[in-house]
Structure formats: C-alpha cells, structure tokens
Amino acid sequence: MSVTSAPEHEELNQLLMQCGRNDQKAFAELYRRTSSKLFGVCLRMVRDRGDAEEVLQETYTAAWRRAASFDSAKASAITWLVTLSRNKAIDRLRQHRVELLDEPSRLEEIVDEQPTPAVEAETSQEHRRLERCLDELEPQQRSSVREAFFTGATYNELATRCKVPLGTMKSWIRRSLMQLRTCLDQSA
C-alpha cells in the first residue's frame, strides 16, 4: 500500500465531505481511490475473499450514511475509512465467532490462530534478518524490491517511477533477489 501525500489526503478529505452532502460523483471517486487499500485491510483481517468483499461493501454503505459526521480536524479521510473498515471486519469476525458458539458441535472447529511465543520469536528474528539483508542492497534496488513485494507494484510501474527501461528494472529485481537469498542463507 502506498503512502498518500498531503495533497492526496486533502483531496480525499474533500471527497468525503462532499459525500456528506450526498454527492454521488464524489462517492464514486472516493471509492475508486480508496477501495483497493480498504479491501486489503478487510482481507487481511477476515482472511476470506468473499467475506472481505462483503465487509468492504458494508464499509462503503456505512461511509455513505455517516459521511456527514466526518471531521477532518480529528482524522484524515483515509484514516476514518480504514477505521470504519476495521470495525466492520471486527464485527464480522465476532459474528462468525458467535455463530460457532451457538452450535456446541462446532466448537472443535475453533482454532487459535495466534502464533505461539516460539513462532513469534522466530518470525521476529527472520524479520530482522530480512531487514538487515535489505539494508545491504543499493537504495534504489532496495526501494524497488520493497515496492514490488510489499505494495504489489509491477515491473512496468516500477520502471516508470524510477525512469529506467523495463529490462533494467527486471534485472535490478532479479539481482536483488539473488543477493537477498545469498545474504539470508549466510545469516541462517
């Protein structure tokens, strides 16, 4: 997910305030500009694409109804929308948990998805190793790898942003991944 700039924040704030005045075009534009980010939030929380789509729909329905209560002095539009989507996702998770508890025979299906302390420690160590190895890459290559894998940017998008030929970007990513693999193998 990309970080929005100050002008983008202000544009989203304005769109949400226009939604509060029942401006359907502003709502369509707000949806176009924020739905992928909010869908990602929903999907990470509920972990089911169908449920995430429903939560996203509930989020925008609530946003349309409650847009007039938005106050840009308290939070940015994107923060307000992310909070709304998180709350809707939590409601969905609670609803699912209640459904499971209503049927005692399904209690065996409930799984504690939280990692054990040992797994958390190992994950934390792996994260530190990955960060250390990423820091060894050239700044532009490091940035490109991060964007490719953490935001889903395509080679074409990255090449355009960095103003380099597509082949160069593919080479940077390939060499960077090989360097990361070597670094991670050595520090294991």
Q: What is the pLDDT along the chain (188 residues), one digit of tens a residue?
A: 344 577 888 999 999 999 999 999 999 999 999 999 999 989 988 888 999 999 999 999 999 999 999 998 888 899 899 999 999 988 888 887 666 555 555 555 555 555 566 556 555 677 788 888 888 999 888 888 888 776 667 888 889 988 999 999 999 989 998 998 888 888 76
**CATH number 1.10.10.10 is the correct assignment for the domain at 117-187:** yes
DSSP 3-state assignment of 115?
coil
Domain extent listing, the chain = 6-104, 117-187
Helix 24-46 × helix 77-102 angle, to 10°:
50
DSSP 151: I
Q: Encoding tokens for residue 118?
A: 């040992």
Q: What is the pTM of this model?
A: 0.53
Tell me if 6-104 shares its fold with 117-187.
Answer: no
Question: Which CATH number is 6-104 given?
Answer: 1.10.1740.10
